[in-house]
Structure 1
Amino acid sequence: MGDWLKHQKKQPKRKWFIWGVLIGIILIVSGLWVINQKQPQSTGKPKNIRLTAVGDSLTYGVGDPSGKGGYTHLISKKVNRQNPTVKMTTANFGVSGQTTAQIDHRVMTAKKLRASLKRADVITVTTGGNDLLQFLETKLMTQSNAQLTGQLKTYCQSYQKRAGQLLTHLRQLNPRAPIFVFGIYNPMYVYFPQVSFISRAVFQNNQMTQKVISTRSNVYFVSINQKLSDGQYQTAAARAKLKKQATDAGTDHDDPAELKKTLGQNTGEVNHYLSTKDHFHPNKTGYKIMTNLLYQKMSQVLGWLKE
């Protein structure tokens, strides 16, 4: 009799335990169902990403032996190859020889470009190289080092304003797309490493671009200066040897007045990342480097890209 009473007393506790377990299972299953409903459902189709590239000859792809548009073609191939769920298409609006002001004018007036920028999921920009080239062509041969330093400061202030206006107009057209802005490089470094002023001008031009970018959200700087300027001479020892060879071959040539003589000489050196046709624009290897650096930066800020 005593054992039967003890058994009956245990029954309510056992029932509550069973009910508690069942309720817990129901709550867990319900929670998982709700979470699953909130997750984006895969349709099996790739995510369509539209990239609009605007800029100068580096966007157009001058020097690319395939004639397909340099980095703008290569970046879509790389994105699609490494991200099976993504389908990137690109629109190339590069025009050779254009300065920042000219690119900005197209952004403000060209209908097809404006429409493409508005629809873009990603925007890339190359600018500044032709601005600096015009400055060097007009000042380098006629100014002393002291005069050039002052002129370069004035140039950088002016360029900063133009770059700022360009980015402002791009953002007005498209408030949401991330913008990736390439820096510039010194195409003459490997050929004339002893001419320090050009490298200094390139460095300061890039500083101005970065300064403009730092004040804006969702805009990113892609540095290509060291890779493309130094070419195959990527170590400090290799660059020191290159400079010594150049200076041993003649005068120091750091004086701008001597540069004109230097420009007419063939040093025998070749930058393996630049086109042998003009020794100025990237070749196939150079555009691959630009593509890889762009992809690296994109993967840091775009969650749908694999690193």
Structure 2
Amino acid sequence: MKKVRSFVSGLLFLLIGVVIVVFVLNLFVKQQPQPKPQSEKVEEKQAIHLVAIGDSLTKGVGDSQRNGGYVSRIRSKLTTLDTVKNVTTENFGVPGERSDEILDRIKTDSEIKKEVTAADMVILTAGGNDIVQTIKKEKLSISEKSFDHALEAYRENLKEMLQQISVYNPKAHIYVYGLYNPYAAYFPDLKEMQTLLIEWNTSTETIIKHQPLATFLPIDIIFNGTDRLNNQSTTTDADDAETVVENPYLYEEDLFHPNDAGYEKMAEVLFQAIQKNE
């Protein structure tokens, strides 16, 4: 009987010892600094490849630095983002080209196909020369109906551009600039031109809305809207005392293309759109 009691007492003592050891070890482990759980995975910086295709606005006519107009400026802006490692650009702008000519290059130029296939985003400017050509062709007989055929052709060309780019690269986001009226400051009574531009831009925006991964970039207000009026400067000719309006965003050599400030504004519109889509 005594042996049994002794055995039970020893077993009980052993169990108490085990509990104490486990308690001490558990307390020691809790006191050790624990690695903090990663609440967020560190986002890797991305390399961006941007391809610009279009007319003189893409080429950068009017840029005093001759550095690609909005293209070089959007590259600089994108590199300031913490999520961006580097930005490469390709500029396929050709001054004077109509929308059908731009479309033809997209469909047949192997270099454009290669770059679009590798692009993260594609930027388009088109349509301005379609209007200019119509004005030159119709001259004094020009009317609102003179632009009906040109607008319809532009619509079809733009649709094909978007479709072809999507065939090359269905994952690339496409940004399409609208048109602006460079004559708004100098010929405010020329209402027909502004009406035409509104119709043209509305058509572009409507087409863009039906295209996946595409964004319309309105810039008309920069050159002839509230933004321009707030920054407009005037000078007075001493000989005839007439007030001369100066548009701060147009290239003074032709009063048609953007200048450095104009391209900076275009790049800012694009930059904001890209950030919104990220």
TM-score, scaled to structure 2: 0.78
Aligned-residue offset at 1:81? 1.9
1:191-232: per-residue Cα shift (whole Å, max 9, x none)?
Answer: 111111111111111111111111111100000011123486
Q: Is the 8 A contact 1:125 1:180 kept in 2?
A: yes
After TM superposition, list the pairs within 5 Å mapping 1:50-89 onto structure 2: 50-83=49-82, 85-89=84-88
Does residue 1:291 correspond to 2:267, yes or no?
yes
The structure carrying a bigger helix percent of its residues is 1
Count of residues paired in the alignment: 244
Equivalence map 1:152-163=2 (5 Å): 152-163=147-158
Residue type of the alignment partner of 1:136: I
- What SS does the corresponding residue of 1:293 show, helix, strand or coil? helix
Q: Offset at 1:164? A: 0.8
Report if the CA contact (8 A) 1:61-1:69 is conserved: yes
Note the alpha carbon deviations across 1:95-132, whole angstroms, 9 max, x for none.
10111111111111111111001000111111111111
Query: Cα RMSD (Å) of the superposition?
Result: 3.1
The AA in structure 2 aligned to 1:101 is D
**Cα distance in 2, alignment partners of residues 87 and 162 from structure 1:** 33
Identify the residue that residue 192 of structure 1 maps to in structure 2: 187
Secondary structure in 2 matching 1:141: helix
Could you tell me how far apart the structure 1 residues matched to 2:102 and 2:53 are? 8
Quick check: which has more Rg, 1 or 2? 2
Contact kept in structure 2, 1:190 and 1:231, CA below 8 Å: no
Unmatched tracts of structure 2, length 5 or more: 1-15, 17-22, 235-239
| Contact 1:107-1:113 at 8 Å conserved across structures | yes
**TM-score, length-scaled by structure 1:** 0.71
Match of 1:229 in 2: 224
2:166 aligned to 166, 171, 177, which one?
171
Aligned twin of 2:132: 133
For 2:46, the equivalent position in structure 1 comes to 47
What letter corresponds to residue 294 of structure 1 in structure 2?
L
User: What residue in structure 2 maps to residue 301 of structure 1?
Assistant: 277
Contact kept? 1:183, 1:206, Cα under 8 Å: yes
SS in structure 2 at match of 1:213: helix
**1-structure distance, mates of 2:266, 2:43:** 35
> Alignment partner of 1:91: what SS?
strand
> Which residue of 2 is the match for residue 274 of structure 1?
250
Percent identity, please: 29
